[in-house]
């Protein structure tokens, strides 16, 4: 195969970042979506969501005639050689993944392949539990194309490890590439594409079977989530020991090369469209294998209770929250995105409202999204300073760069009572404690007993 043309089904941050990544290196790319509005935006050069550098690279790809978005998956498949499936796998109520979008994509790809003579490679990029690529994707493509996998078309599962907010950087600089292959020919075609894409210094490439590749992605996310819940668990111990700070503990422990420093930032827990959903899916999948994954269940439980620590710390200072005004700094699940899926701001705000507090919230980009969740239940500020005005307590929820620049005086001058709870450990406790009432997740200080929780089985103990 000379330079293959690429199609990508799904235009979320994985699909579109991958598409723009390929286009940036000269490949011809066709993306497909059923969302008319999204397709028009992409074709006009407007990124449908915020992702650093995406807008610029999308515009360039369109200008170079390297990318277009179509509404018909068939058109995308017929005019390309390799198709990536990057559609979403949201959670069902029982925690398992809803495979509806993947099934639809496979069905449409199958119908297209029915009319195509040349060999075509399909690559699943979406996060799925072991067995899905073979049982769902291969079966549907074979059924609707009347063709045979391994003969008429190839099939791989190649998970992505992109982070939102760094998706393009991660596409161009991955730690490794995983290729799960149905047969050798499929793997060879995909490896050759990646080697061509990454040039002289390709990342390490692991070739394996479909199920192992599927489990690698889940293991990766489950391990990162475990690191976070682990350090949050240690943070909750630190809070009970005056003078001990989890950030120092994490720094020292992270210097052990066997552990490493990443994902040891204690706080109010992990959110987003991946970790919460993927940990749940791995738990549900393990149960289908008659295995109860106690460790993962604990990881999830710790994450669910962790946001309430911030509320508890707030109550430690204020007591009854009825009628108190709380300033919330940050709404998105992490900085550099307006995504609020499973954002920790949601349980925190809901709990504060339940306890009778009034809320003013500010986020540099997520206010529009927050309005679709909280409507007029809360007030929205147009700057951090406005958010702090007349507040009785402030909870720092998302570690945006602009919040890191705030000084103790910004809080003391504007708040009714200067009290700050640092939910993401961005402020220096010494500087802030001298000038105002300050506490933080994982900071052991002389704090009222109520903060520590009287009952070990308390929701946020
Ligand atoms: C995550 C993984 O990091 C990616 O490798 C993976 O490809 C992606 O899921 C996916 O499956 O698609 P993402 O959800 O974009 O990426 O964001 P992360 O940067 O991993 O952060 C997730 C959450 O963990 C955020 O709420 C963040 O605040 C929290 N976090 C992260 C912590 O609380 N502490 C940390 O030390 C690190």
- DSSP string covering 66-124: -EEEES-HHHHHHT-SEEEE----PBPTTSSB--HHHHHHHHHHHHHHHT--S-EEEEE
Ligand 1 pocket, 221 CB below 6 A? Answer: yes
pLDDT of residue 58: 96
* CA of 229 relative to ligand 1 center, distance in Å: 12
pLDDT of residue 165: 87
Ligand 1 pocket, 15 CB below 6 A? Answer: no
**Contact between residue 159 and residue 123 where contact means Cβ atoms under 8 Å apart:** no
Query: Hey, how many other C-beta atoms are within 10 angstroms of the C-beta on 301?
Result: 11
Ligand 1 pocket, 364 CB below 6 A? Answer: no
Residue 69 is among the residues annotated as catalytic for this protein: no
* Measured CA distances, 39 to 10, 46, 241, 386 (Å): 11, 10, 54, 37
Distance CA 411, CA 389 (A): 9
Protein residue with its CA nearest to atom 19 in ligand 1: 163
Element (H, E) at 184: helix 184-198
Candidates 274, 314, 387, 393; catalytic one: 274
Q: What pTM was estimated for this model as a whole?
A: 0.94
Ligand 1 pocket, 160 CB below 6 A? Answer: yes
**Which residues of the chain carry a pLDDT beneath 50?**
447-459, 461
Residue 398 CA, closest ligand 1 atom number: 28
pLDDT of residue 1: 58
* CA of 219 relative to ligand 1 center, distance in Å: 14
- 166-186 burial, b at 16+ Cβ within 10 Å, e below that, comes to bbbebbeebeebbbbbbeeeb
Half-sphere exposure of 71 (CA within 13 A, CB side): 8
pLDDT of residue 446: 58
Average pLDDT, the chain: 94
pLDDT of residue 90: 87
Ligand 1 pocket, 341 CB below 6 A? Answer: no
């Amino acid at each position: 195969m000379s330079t293959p043309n690429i199609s990508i089904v799904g235009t979320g941050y994985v699909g579109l970042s991958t598409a723009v990544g390929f286009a940036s290196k000269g490949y011809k790319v066709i993306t497909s979506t059923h969302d008319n509005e999204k397709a028009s935006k992409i074709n006009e050069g407007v990124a449908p969501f915020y992702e650093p550098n995406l807008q610029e690279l999308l515009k360039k790809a369109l200008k170079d005639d390297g990318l277009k978005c179509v509404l018909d998956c068939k058109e995308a498949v017929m005019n390309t050689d390799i198709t990536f499936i990057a559609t979403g796998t949201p959670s069902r109520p029982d925690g398992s993944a809803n495979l509806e979008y993947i099934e639809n994509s496979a069905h449409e790809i199958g119908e297209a392949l029915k009319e195509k003579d040349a060999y075509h490679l399909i690559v699943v990029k979406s996060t799925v539990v072991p067995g899905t690529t073979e049982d769902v994707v291969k079966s549907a493509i074979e059924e609707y194309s009347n063709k045979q996998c391994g003969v008429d078309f190839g099939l791989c599962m190649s998970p992505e490890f992109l982070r939102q907010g760094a998706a393009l950087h991660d596409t161009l600089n991955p730690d490794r590439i995983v290729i799960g292959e149905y047969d050798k020919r499929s793997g060879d075609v995909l490896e050759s594409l990646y080697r061509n894409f990454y040039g002289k210094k390709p990342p390490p490439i692991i070739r394996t079977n479909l199920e192992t590749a599927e489990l690698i992605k889940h293991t990766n996310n489950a391990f990162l989530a475990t690191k976070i819940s682990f350090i949050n668990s240690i943070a909750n111990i630190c809070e009970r020991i005056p003078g001990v700070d989890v950030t120092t503990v994490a720094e020292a422990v992270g210097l052990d090369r066997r552990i490493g420093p990443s994902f040891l930032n204690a706080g109010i827990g992990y959110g987003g469209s991946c970790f919460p959903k993927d940990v749940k899916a791995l738990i549900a999948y393990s149960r289908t294998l008659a295995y109860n994954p106690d460790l993962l269940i604990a990881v999830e439980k710790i994450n669910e209770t962790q946001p309430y620590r911030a509320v508890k710390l707030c109550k430690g200072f204020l007591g009854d929250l009825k009628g108190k005004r709380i300033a919330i700094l940050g709404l998105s699940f992490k900085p550099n995105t307006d995504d609020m899926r499973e954002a920790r701001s949601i349980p925190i705000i809901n709990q504060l409202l339940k306890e009778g507090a009034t809320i003013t919230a500010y986020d540099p980009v997520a206010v529009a999204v927050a309005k679709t969740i909280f409507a007029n239940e809360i007030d929205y500020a147009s700057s951090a300073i406005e958010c702090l005005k007349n507040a009785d307590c402030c909870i720092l929820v998302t570690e945006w760069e602009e919040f890191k620049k705030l000084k103790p005086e910004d809080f003391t001058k504007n708040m009714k009572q200067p009290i700050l709870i640092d939910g993401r450990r961005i402020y220096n406790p010494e500087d802030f404690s001298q000038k105002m009432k300050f506490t933080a997740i994982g900071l052991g200080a002389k704090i009222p007993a109520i903060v520590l929780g009287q009952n070990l089985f308390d929701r946020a103990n």
